Chain A
Amino acid sequence: AQSVTQLDSQVPVFEEAPVELRCNYSSSVSVYLFWYVQYPNQGLQLLLKYLSGSTLVKGINGFEAEFNKSQTSFHLRKPSVHISDTAEYFCAVIPNSGYSTLTFGKGTMLLVSP
């Protein structure tokens, strides 16, 4: 079984400041990792994914994440946030065996203020 821990339930930040949203996971098998964003009353939109290869992955809207296998982490970063980045962010994992489903963290609410 897999589990995902998002260490911060809420992260307040000022516009144009950098931000890091933390994600740690636990799994007995190798996994693929994802970050999704959810705006109010909408579904989840994929930000980025890590399958293999370079541990630094770039996604949409200027976000990037770094996979650290030894620390079982997959933290999300953005060098300069905008008001429009205010949303809920979810980290998720899935075993790379191909026959299973996503396990999500509880989410981190990013609150960007002017």
Chain B
Amino acid sequence: KAGVTQTPRYLIKTRGQQVTLSCSPISGHRSVSWYQQTPGQGLQFLFEYFSETQRNKGNFPGRFSGRQFSNSRSEMNVSTLELGDSALYLCASTTDYPGADTQYFGPGTRLTVL
């Protein structure tokens, strides 16, 4: 099976812009979770989608949003970018519940906000 794929791999934006990141889960996986990883904060949970519905949400402002399509592919959007949004954004997929079974991660999208 192909692993989790994320596009683009690298992105450079300026403050105030918006960005959309894409994630394709492993075939058959219906749960997709998004994480933000920074050197100072480690892995922080953004949100999780299952069957096109947001099932869990982390403590991030409303500028961070996401969605999931019927084929389980997911996108996340960050509007009005701030310098502090520079990070590695990771997507992970699993069959059902992230806490109950193995999550497999993609390579991440490195976002730099100038």
Please determine whether chains A and B interact with each other in the same assembly: no
Chain A residues proximal to chain B, CB less than 8 Å: none
Chain B residues proximal to chain A, CB less than 8 Å: none
